Structure 1
Amino acid sequence: MTTNTRNHTLDNHDRKILRALQGNARLSNADLAESVGLSATACWNRTRQLEAEGYIRGYAALLDQKKMGLADTVLLEVTLDSHEEDTLARFGEELAALPEVLEAYLVSGEYDYLVKVAVDGTAGYERFLREKLYRISGIRHSRSMFALRCMKSVPSVQV
């Protein structure tokens, strides 16, 4: 999908569409239009415009991590040996290819990366470290924290 660089300013109807789709991306256009107070045609056109301009990047199913056999979330801080652009890019690409990695951020501060990982307990995390993460060259140091409970989780920016 190509993103139009000339984005319009979001109005109240656009925000209502975005909020409704965040709650249920499988709404039919008729139901979406009714919930935001627009005609079906106007709602369809606005939704397509929001997609074309990149406000809506895509649609996805939210899976239950525990039911998928990955009951534990680990937050991992990683420091690399080098901060050269190609090293950061290579590490980022290899990290993104690991299916256990849910999110990964290049960050400022003491560590270079903050990584959110889904694993099956401490044994699953040990396997992830030994068989995957530590096989990526260039890691100087890492620090892990098991999440005890998720207090808030949203799939994207709140409108």
Structure 2
Amino acid sequence: MVTTLDNYDLKLLKEIQRNAHTPQTELASRVSLSPAAVNRRLRRLADESVIDRYVAVLTPEKIGYPLTIVSMIEVESEQIDLLDGMKRTFAECAQIQQCYYVAGEWDFVVIFSVRHMEEYNELTRSLFFANNNVKRFKTLVSMSRVKVGLEIPIVLTV
């Protein structure tokens, strides 16, 4: 079900994507609503799962995870139960930051945040080599983070 969003909702979403820690009184001022209206709208957007969750975005290098690795995985079989098992395994792995089931030459694209190459090597053994459904995988090692974000572009309606 698609939630109907008006310009106030869209403005609020744009603001909280930038900084979810912004006080509601400041949000109210920025979007021309009362603090009570902001509170009601944010609660509704969360209840309707438009807002999935509030998080803190950390700098990986500052907490000992300087290495970002992108892996592309091709599977042997696309049987639903095998794919679902892989999705669960990937979702449960703390070092996997993002995982996408994709169309094209590869079946999954997985983004890891790891402390060092040996940690990634251990993960490939447990996630890829030990899984009979992994046909092959390719590894790309990030040299620098150019842009990292989860913000969805917000376009106000006319």
TM-score greater than 0.5 by the shorter chain: yes
Q: TM-score, normalised by structure 1?
A: 0.88
Higher relative contact order (CA 8 A, sep 6+): 2
Q: Deviations over 1:46-95 (max 9, x none)?
A: 21222222211111111221122110111100111111000100011011
Structure 1 distance, partners of 2:2, 2:19, is 27
Structure 1 distance, partners of 2:123, 2:62, is 19
Distance 1:109 1:27, change over 3 A: same
Q: Deviations over 1:85-134 (max 9, x none)?
A: 00100011011111111111111111110000111232222122224443
Q: What CA RMSD, in Å, does the superposition of the two structures yield over aligned residues?
A: 1.6
Matched, 1:108 2:103: yes
Structure 2 distance, partners of 1:133, 1:72, is 19
Counterpart residue type for residue 7 of structure 1: T
Counterpart residue type for residue 130 of structure 1: R
Matched, 1:70 2:60: no
Alignment of 1:3-82 (within 5 A): 5=1, 7-8=3-4, 10-82=5-77
Structure 1 distance, partners of 2:153, 2:116, is 31
Q: Which runs of 4 or more aligned residues in structure 1 lie more than 6 Å from their structure 2 counterparts after TM superposition? A: none
Structure 1 distance, partners of 2:56, 2:101, is 26
Q: Which residue of 1 aligns with 2:84?
A: 89
Q: Where does structure 2 lack aligned partners over 5 or more consecutive residues?
A: none
The count of aligned residue pairs is: 154
Contact 1:6 1:53 in 2 (8 A): no
Q: TM-score, normalised by structure 2?
A: 0.89
